[in-house]
Amino acid sequence: MTADRAALWADLAAWRQDFHRNPEFGFEERRTARLVAERLRGFGLTEVTEEVGGTGVVATLTRGTARRAIALRADMDALRIAERGARPYRSETPGLMHACGHDGHTAMLLGAARLLAAEGGFDGTVRFIFQPAEEWGRGAQAMLADGLMARFPFSEIFGLHNMPGLPIGHFEARPGPAMAAEDNFEITLRGRGGHAARPHQGREVLVAACALVTGLQTIVARRLDPADIAVVSVTELLSDGTRNVLPGLARILGDARSFRAEVSAEIEAQMRRIAAGIAAAHDCAAEVTYTREFVPLVNDPALTAVALAAAGELFGAGCVRGDGAPVAASEDFARFLDLVPGCFALIGNGAASPPLHNPDYDFNDAAIPHGVRFLAEITRRRLPIA
């Protein structure tokens, strides 16, 4: 049986817009997961397991007799961002929207499942993994902790993410380190607050905090090898002061990105040293909390070459790039690549698309057919019929 492609694309766009209208935060994707499971069963898939790692869904499709299994993965969660714009399917949940395109990723993987169930063309087993809580950096680990690999084994894995600025029908995949690790930090400065008119009677921390924000910028500029890619970003500075009160407590929060564990360790060490020194110079105390949320995403070179070849055949060689620069954003698909080889690729969301994590962003439904066709093609290449 051959899927009616035009009808399929129309259905997937409608489903994507429904997911967009009803966004759900990480580990709260109950409606999304329920609809995903219902549709998978409607395609004729009989092995559909819900509540994997909380709200994850895993479906299995087998054709032929080969014993090899691969996995295709999409994320389902939304972000705590208030959506702008007047599109007819805009978010109906205040303060929550699909600002990263996970609604589109979910639709594309549903489309691949429907296409492969209808048309086959492969010999082996495909695991369709619909993952919760990617934005937290917790969803992949939650599914793994719930026995994903033992319950639904596979030997390699593939995933897609839309990319604003990349034209529709274009494809990028980089072998080796492709996306960064993300570390989070919080530095608390403690002193003694007081009257704004009498600073000499206290040990206020705001000047120290400002010096520390500036000092942290020297980690990348002066403490790391220029050949290493790294970013240290302060994103929040909070204090307990007010207009005429000097604060006695300040909190500095942010994140750091890198591509090697050694660089991450050096960033932490330098951050602790700088915080202690600046705190001492301003007669206050510093406490540093440093956590590693995402590991670096490292694509398997051989499977990346396969993905590029598949995309080249589908989209044309001029629309495919395999030598792009690493991306400093993070992605917890990397947790799967720590265990099995695979490839995580970027697919165009349109040259004029607003950026990810922006209140004006929207997934471009014109990208859906390209993503579905790629996921089906990579399945047939990795599970060929003898």
Tell me the sheet residues that pair with 63.
124
Q: What is the model's pLDDT at position 2?
A: 67
Q: What is the pTM of this model?
A: 0.91
CATH 1.10.3210.10 fits 181-294, yes or no: no
CATH 3.30.70.20 fits 5-178+296-382, yes or no: no
> Domain extents for the chain?
5-178+296-382, 181-294
| Averaged pLDDT, groups of 10, the chain, 386 residues long | 85 98 98 98 98 98 97 98 96 98 98 98 98 96 98 98 98 97 97 94 95 98 94 97 95 96 97 98 98 96 98 97 93 97 98 98 98 98 96
Q: What is the model's pLDDT at position 1?
A: 52
Q: What is the model's pLDDT at position 386?
A: 87
Tracing tokens 């990346």 back to the chain, one arrives at 304
- Report pLDDT digits (tens) over 302-318: 999 999 999 999 999 99
- Report pLDDT digits (tens) over 51-67: 999 999 999 999 999 99
The sign of the dihedral angle between the CA atoms of 323, 327, 333, 339 is positive
**What proportion of the chain, given as a percentage, has pLDDT over 70?**
99
Q: What are the tokens at 124?
A: 């082996």
Distance CA 135, CA 329 (A): 11
